[in-house]
Structure 1
Amino acid sequence: MLEAQMRLDLIAITVLALGVAVGNAASAEMPVPVSAAEIRSVVLRGEQLRDNGELQAAQQQFDAALQAVVDVKGDIGLLAAVEAAAGYNLFLLNSKEAAEPLLKAAYRSTETGPDYLRGLVGLYLSELALAGGDRQQALQYADQAEAALRSQGDSPLRMSVALSRTAAGEDKSGRVAALLELAARIESLPNDFPAAKVRLKTAEALLAEAAPSDGQGWVGAAYAALDKVLAGANPPPRMRVEALLGMARLYRQQNRDREALALTEQALALAGDRRYLELLAELEALQGDLLLRLGQQVPALRAYEQAVNDLLAIRGDLPINLPDGRSAIDTVIDPLHRGYVDLLLRQAGTGDSEQQALNKAMSSMEAIKEADLQDFFLGRCSISVQTRDDWRELAFPETVIVYPILLTDRLELLMKHGPLVVRRSVPVSAERVREQAQILTQRLHAGKDYRAAAKQLYQWLFEPIANDVAAAGAKLLLYVPDRNLRAVPYSVLQDGGRFLVEQYAIVTLPGLTFQNWDKQVAKRKNLRALVAGLSRPDGAAIDTLPDNVVERLIGNKPADVAQKAMDRSRLVEELSLPNIEREIDSVAKRQNSTMLLNNQFTASALKRDIETGDYAKVHIASHGYFGKNAKESFVMAYDQNLTLLDFEGSLGGDRLKSEPIDLLTLSACETAEGDDRMLLGFSGLAVKSNVLSAVGSLWSINDQAATEFMHLFYDGLGNSLNKAEAMRQAQIAMIKSKRFKHPFFWSPFILIGGWQ
């Protein structure tokens, strides 16, 4: 009898967790649940609120249920179901760290429980893993959920699991084929709420994944799914808005602009209570795009401006990744802001009105740059940026800001000199610029002939403003690269004879709204340097290297204890950097220094010395790896691998806030994924820890070249050159040398932040 009752309880909770909401969401008034029946009632209200997009109110219900369910003795199934509902809602609230333990606890409780509840929690964990970028783990949970639900036939829950499994697939063409198969299977589902959720997600996935090369079959599949959602019996308001948005996007792709605009305006009217700001922003941006296509530029700009304002109002609540694993910045933030900038610049007038439009455009692009850093540091609150408007008025002698903006059909190249912004439009598509940037990066990394690509990018990214820069009397360029340009060092651009760095000192900035990049170096009595190096990494840190790093270095993952010991010796040899001892000795001799070498360079010693605040400069020569985020990016100390989050903790103390480190240098670092992670990492680290300037390399070079560069750079600083000019002179000296003249050796070194 008890088992039967528990089964009924679990069925009820599982149905609730699938989102079967009836009527409007319950009022915000929340009774204190006592019995199992009351707990189920509270969870029901929470599910109704969640399905209508009111996540904060839903969480209040789930929290109350969590507090009460522990007193319902022996009802493990009810506890698991409440944990699952609460954990999934926390995930939707972008609280992954709080969601994960709840969902995993629920999953453990379902090991011997009903299959449908295990399948549900497995689905939630799959979506959680996918949103975190772990496709392999997402597939594992989806496979386990599918196994648990095999006896259920094509239920909505099983279809949701199939959808999550499809989203986790690596092959794009395979994902589209799987989505089409899934769309055919969901045709037979009843037209109720759980099925409508699956249909809506399937249509959204098709719109995101499919392309003209996939044929037209997906168009009919997406239309059929969305049409059934809209034809369903009283779908919740948010679901109806989402379905109308999906249908409008589909019509827009088919060039049915007027019909798409009518659907967009219908959805905007339904969402008029402004509860769904992220949906409103997407709808308003789509409305602006459609109005522009129909030749109505003024109302199009108004729609985009409203979209930008709505998105900015909730930017702290947007997740890093959407539940289907897609990046929020790639899917929402970048397209919306870049679309606004495109339209704003199309309509820019002359004189004061043009200057106002150019400043608005730069401000909107700054929102993208801020989101990029937040993504790297794994949270919208991770980069605490006090927005500064004074960058519009800042002026520095003999200095200009170079600000490229990549748009679909052109490159907008902005040059800011004091309050004045000069605009030059270059008729080259963003795709062509990206392709040429990738070619140049690949050739530089391989030490091959780079000249044609470097000259082409010079013609696009500097030549149009060359006369303006000269007229401003500039000797220093503050370069603020757009996305897809961050992996290319601006110094290597070439006019056919000279590199850009031979003409100008160059500083790279992550953005203009971040603090400290223009902060003058305070006069300090203490000018000591902390110099740390790891020339032979035979300590404990090497035993915790990620598998992908080990595999890249020695070609395999250790299979057993004996193999691991053999591979460890190989790893030590592969990672040894004998010239580091010469490098740190050279750096240390140029100033009053404390040196930490090899087994002295421990995590605790570095943390202890940095936190004293006694050092104006910190120089670290070791292997550094920059992955897709701050947690996966680290620098090797002797005893452990220090993630960028560890550095943040050491560099963010109160003492350093009042007397920040003037210069942080990381030598011999590598970008693990071959993209622009290094720039994001160093930029974010400098922003988060109040370091005034950071020096590092965009890719790994041999330690002899790194030692030579550091020797020249610190010589320049010792001769009273500012950081930017010391960087420039060091690079010019390497260009003139026989051994290191190829830009592979000197161009990856960049100075981020303050140049004084």
Structure 2
Amino acid sequence: MGRGGVTRLWAAAGAAVVSGVLAASPDVARAALTDDLCLPSGDVTLPTYPSAGALQQAAEMAESRLARRGAADPFAEIAPSLELRGSGPERPSPLAIAEYCSAAGELMRVSAQGSQLQAQTYLLGAFQTASRANLRGPASMAAYRLGLVSLSGTPATGTRGGGRRASRGPSEAAREVGQLGDDPCVALMRTSFVVSSSLSLSVASLGCAAQQAHANEDHRTAALAELRLARLRLSVAETNAAAAAEFRREAVGVAAHGMADARKIQDPTLRAELLGRLLSAYLDAGGPLDGMSGVTAAMRVSSAPAAQAYATALDARMAAANGDANAARQMMDQALLLEAQRSLPARLPEFHLLLSEFDPANREAHVLAAYEALEAIRPLLPRFDPLTEETAFSLYMRRVFQGAVDVQLAGAADAGAAIRVKSAQQILEAYRQAELQSVFGSECIPARDPLKPEALRPGEVLLYPILLPDRLEMLYVAGGQAGAEFRRLPPNRSVNRQDVARLVEAAVVSLSGGEDDSWRAASRQLYDILIKPIEAELTPGSLLAVVPDGALRSLPFSVLIDSQNRYLVEKTRVTIAPALAYSQAGGIQAQNQQLVAASLEMEVRVPAGRFEKLDGTGAEARLAAVTDGKRIQRSWVIENFSKADLVGALTREQVDVLHLATHASFNGRSDRAFIVANGEVILLSELRQILSANRTRGGELDLLILSACETAVGDDEASMGLAGAAVQAGARSAIASLWPVSDAGTAELMKSFYGRYREGRSKSEALREAQLSLIAQGGDLANPNIWAAFTLLGAWR
């Protein structure tokens, strides 16, 4: 998400580093010292510098505290100790600067209050400083951390009211990776490279980290970097058919190098774990089996039960690959027995899934056993893996959920089809909620009862698209019928997850750029795939609520085009739901609602960076509180608001509508997303606490409007940013933009929306009519780049 955006990290002509860093106060001299010291170009001369000893002492303290940070955010404790002043004219040693900048970058990377954009800047500066001095240890650590920043998604925010930015989708990013060359470290020495896609920056950073760590005989860092790089290449192969073969081949080579490094790790438990994960990635990529039995033999040197179970499961995989299914089943039974004896048998679901591959005659039973095992351990799994920082959801859950849905639907053609469809839908709902909890944290996602089909009114249709590796499945239910239940449409085997993701990328990249019509062909195909099968249900006055899967989360469904070149929004109202538990129908009357509209126009320096002055946000906030030229009775408008201002306004009485016209940042990960206030940031999780703590009567915020969101195309977690804004803030529904929109376009749409909403229209009706009014006006406002960006999530009545 981004509005106005932070200053671009690098201008086209060269370095233009983001201003403002660790200090929350606008102490320009202090902020400039830290920024300039960690500037990647390294060519800034300062009048005074901190001493090398002071830098290293600060870095050592920060690293020590970061190593034992636990679940607490270390920012408030560590940041002050990194705010150093100059003490003399002598420039500190490259080693001191590299270690200091690496520690500062790591703090920014792991802290919810830190900026992922600043983390990228500092870590790139640390890497380049260390590389110029041939300091392989600090260079490898900075590069590895830089790779982890990039893996978390694009840290840069978008702009609002400025020039349109060029979007990059996964396909273009994959092409960039192919242009990196043989030495990834060379790419990281180019200052212009930082504006590359997250994928290419991740590949270069992790590859360089492995190269430098290997040369420095730091086998642990080398193996970790190669593991993350191998898995990254495999994930691209899963979503990009054109690049799949090349990325799998590269993954095989990377994993093989990683196993060679992992064999040299002294700690037997760590050695076994990394060998197992790397061998698993190697087998996933289709690497040859010659010599791989020696890897599992090396794993068994560790007496840990986890290592024994994992080695046995990997031997089973290799036996199956060699055609000995009977031996594979026997070994996997033994692996299951060993894993079940652990206090937290985290790999038990994975092993059941593997057994389903070796015993296809009993696949369904094994997959459902995997799902049952997952449900038993899911509450006990840590949110992030302590070794690689990957989410437990991606490591242990996603494939199990997908497999369970797959087998339920695959068997839904017999007499018990209705029961299987219902079971599949229940698993899907658990899947969506687990994914939300993984992205935002279970503490931010309170339990709710899912929307029940019988709560739907006539004309309200709920659609579940399910993207599977070999087909598209869709479940739907139409309201107004006695005993309404989900139905399964015939599976569409002409497309799969990759195909749909490619079409969404083509549509969204073109739409968000707003400079060509190449989105039309993709939009037309997506309509045929997703909407045409239920077209008959979309009668005049109907509503379509979609629970999107994967890449579909970044798709503005309203812009899909039918065979008569009519937009979907011209046929029906559209709303999005992250899960049924976060999409109640709603129904509060707008005429009786209290509104708070808060805006920020001034330039602000906060720990997350410097945010530019905005034009038009104050007018937008005032517009939200006006109908027919008159201020509505129950409204508050706060210009250049602070957190205290917002708390005060929300304390006075129950607030139903909160309109925020300010900068917002996705900040690399959804649980770090924030809005910018006067001199401070407010995390969306904090906003939820503010709303909960200052209620004068029960109930949730009815409507949150954020006109500055941005979805990262091809990044499943980033594309949940809109869902997170509503869920984390505790709102029944949200309206936000999937990409930055001009001030004029935002103002026109909001004016139209509020006018209709206060006349008594539902949220979905008011948004649809506002979008149709822009289309009818023609000219620039009719461009889908403007009106299609705005999406309603959650309650629609």
TM-score of the superposition, structure 2-length normalised? 0.67
From the superposition, tell whether residues 390 and 302 of structure 1 become closer, same or farther in structure 2 (CA, over 3 Å): farther
Q: Which runs of 5+ in 1 are unaligned?
A: 1-79, 105-121, 148-152, 551-570
Separation in structure 2 between the aligned mates of residue 128 and residue 581 of structure 1, nearest angstrom: 31
From the superposition, tell whether residues 251 and 336 of structure 1 become closer, same or farther in structure 2 (CA, over 3 Å): farther
Q: In structure 2, which of residues 248, 251, 256 is the aligned counterpart of residue 180 of structure 1?
A: 256
Higher relative contact order (CA 8 A, sep 6+): 2
CA contact (8 A) 1:127 1:324 kept: no
Q: Mean Cα displacement is larger for which, 733-742 or 667-676?
A: 667-676
From the superposition, tell whether residues 390 and 733 of structure 1 become closer, same or farther in structure 2 (CA, over 3 Å): closer
From the superposition, tell whether residues 453 and 179 of structure 1 become closer, same or farther in structure 2 (CA, over 3 Å): closer
Cα deviation, 1:581-611, whole Å, max 9, x if unaligned, reads 3332322112225444543x22210121123
Cα deviation, 1:609-662, whole Å, max 9, x if unaligned, reads 123333221111122222332453222223222221221221222626604322
Separation in structure 1 between the aligned mates of residue 77 and residue 299 of structure 2, nearest angstrom: 31
Q: In structure 1, which of residues 230, 236, 249 is the aligned counterpart of residue 304 of structure 2?
A: 236
Q: Mean Cα displacement is larger for which, 362-371 or 706-715?
A: 362-371
Separation in structure 1 between the aligned mates of residue 106 and residue 309 of structure 2, nearest angstrom: 26
Matched, 1:588 2:625: yes
CA contact (8 A) 2:437 2:444 kept: yes
Q: In structure 2, which of residues 645, 657, 661 is the aligned counterpart of residue 617 of structure 1?
A: 657
Separation in structure 2 between the aligned mates of residue 87 and residue 585 of structure 1, nearest angstrom: 44
Equivalent positions of 1:46-61 (< 5 A) are none
Q: In structure 2, which of residues 723, 726, 749 is the aligned counterpart of residue 686 of structure 1?
A: 726
Structure 2 letter corresponding to 1:201: L
Q: In structure 2, which of residues 720, 745, 759 is the aligned counterpart of residue 705 of structure 1?
A: 745
Matched, 1:490 2:557: yes
Structure 2 partner of 1:330: 394
Name the structure with the higher helix share.
1
Separation in structure 1 between the aligned mates of residue 594 and residue 106 of structure 2, nearest angstrom: 50
- Report the Cα offset of residue 247 of structure 1: 2.9
Structure 1 partner of 2:85: none
Structure 2 partner of 1:529: 595
Instruction: Provide the aligned C-alpha RMSD in A.
Output: 4.1
- Identical-pair percentage: 25
CA contact (8 A) 1:131 1:324 kept: no
SS at match of 2:584: coil
CA contact (8 A) 1:619 1:664 kept: yes
Structure 2 partner of 1:163: 223
Equivalent positions of 1:384-533 (< 5 A) are 384-386=446-448, 388=449, 391-418=452-479, 419-424=484-489, 425-427=491-493, 428-447=495-514, 448-449=516-517, 450-469=519-538, 475-496=542-563, 497-514=565-582, 517-521=584-588, 527-533=593-599
SS at match of 2:678: coil
From the superposition, tell whether residues 350 and 735 of structure 1 become closer, same or farther in structure 2 (CA, over 3 Å): farther
Separation in structure 2 between the aligned mates of residue 130 and residue 589 of structure 1, nearest angstrom: 42
- Report the Cα offset of residue 279 of structure 1: 1.6
Structure 2 partner of 1:372: 435
Q: Which runs of 5+ in 2 are unaligned?
A: 1-59, 80-101, 142-212, 234-246
SS at match of 1:314: helix
- Report the Cα offset of residue 326 of structure 1: 3.2
Separation in structure 1 between the aligned mates of residue 608 and residue 309 of structure 2, nearest angstrom: 47
Q: Mean Cα displacement is larger for which, 644-653 or 129-138?
A: 129-138
Matched, 1:349 2:413: yes
From the superposition, tell whether residues 354 and 623 of structure 1 become closer, same or farther in structure 2 (CA, over 3 Å): same
Structure 2 partner of 1:108: none
Separation in structure 1 between the aligned mates of residue 790 and residue 424 of structure 2, nearest angstrom: 29
Q: Mean Cα displacement is larger for which, 138-147 or 491-500?
A: 138-147
- Report the Cα offset of residue 349 of structure 1: 3.4
Q: Mean Cα displacement is larger for which, 354-363 or 204-213?
A: 204-213
From the superposition, tell whether residues 396 and 342 of structure 1 become closer, same or farther in structure 2 (CA, over 3 Å): same
- Report the Cα offset of residue 439 of structure 1: 0.8
CA contact (8 A) 1:526 1:614 kept: no
CA contact (8 A) 2:596 2:655 kept: yes
From the superposition, tell whether residues 128 and 655 of structure 1 become closer, same or farther in structure 2 (CA, over 3 Å): closer
SS at match of 2:625: helix
- Report the Cα offset of residue 463 of structure 1: 0.9
CA contact (8 A) 2:701 2:730 kept: yes
From the superposition, tell whether residues 373 and 255 of structure 1 become closer, same or farther in structure 2 (CA, over 3 Å): farther
Matched, 1:667 2:687: no
SS at match of 1:271: helix
CA contact (8 A) 1:202 1:222 kept: no
Structure 2 partner of 1:30: none
Number of paired residues?
598
Separation in structure 1 between the aligned mates of residue 136 and residue 369 of structure 2, nearest angstrom: 39
From the superposition, tell whether residues 146 and 679 of structure 1 become closer, same or farther in structure 2 (CA, over 3 Å): closer
SS at match of 2:347: helix
From the superposition, tell whether residues 717 and 751 of structure 1 become closer, same or farther in structure 2 (CA, over 3 Å): same
- Report the Cα offset of residue 385 of structure 1: 1.9
Cα deviation, 1:329-366, whole Å, max 9, x if unaligned, reads 23321111001111111111345x21221122122222
Cα deviation, 1:462-500, whole Å, max 9, x if unaligned, reads 112223555xx8701111101211000111111131111
Structure 2 partner of 1:576: 614
Q: In structure 2, which of residues 132, 137, 141 is the aligned counterpart of residue 143 of structure 1?
A: 137
Structure 2 letter corresponding to 1:160: R
Cα deviation, 1:197-238, whole Å, max 9, x if unaligned, reads 41441231242267658x53xx445432113334x4x82322
From the superposition, tell whether residues 718 and 278 of structure 1 become closer, same or farther in structure 2 (CA, over 3 Å): same
Structure 1 letter corresponding to 2:222: A
CA contact (8 A) 1:207 1:250 kept: no
Separation in structure 1 between the aligned mates of residue 586 and residue 716 of structure 2, nearest angstrom: 25
CA contact (8 A) 2:664 2:708 kept: yes
Q: In structure 2, which of residues 762, 770, 778 is the aligned counterpart of residue 722 of structure 1?
A: 762
Structure 2 letter corresponding to 1:421: F
Matched, 1:696 2:736: yes
From the superposition, tell whether residues 697 and 524 of structure 1 become closer, same or farther in structure 2 (CA, over 3 Å): closer
SS at match of 2:723: helix
From the superposition, tell whether residues 640 and 674 of structure 1 become closer, same or farther in structure 2 (CA, over 3 Å): farther
Structure 1 letter corresponding to 2:419: Q
Q: Mean Cα displacement is larger for which, 307-316 or 137-146?
A: 137-146
- Report the Cα offset of residue 393 of structure 1: 4.3
- Report the Cα offset of residue 726 of structure 1: 0.7
CA contact (8 A) 1:631 1:645 kept: yes
From the superposition, tell whether residues 242 and 309 of structure 1 become closer, same or farther in structure 2 (CA, over 3 Å): same
Equivalent positions of 1:5-20 (< 5 A) are none
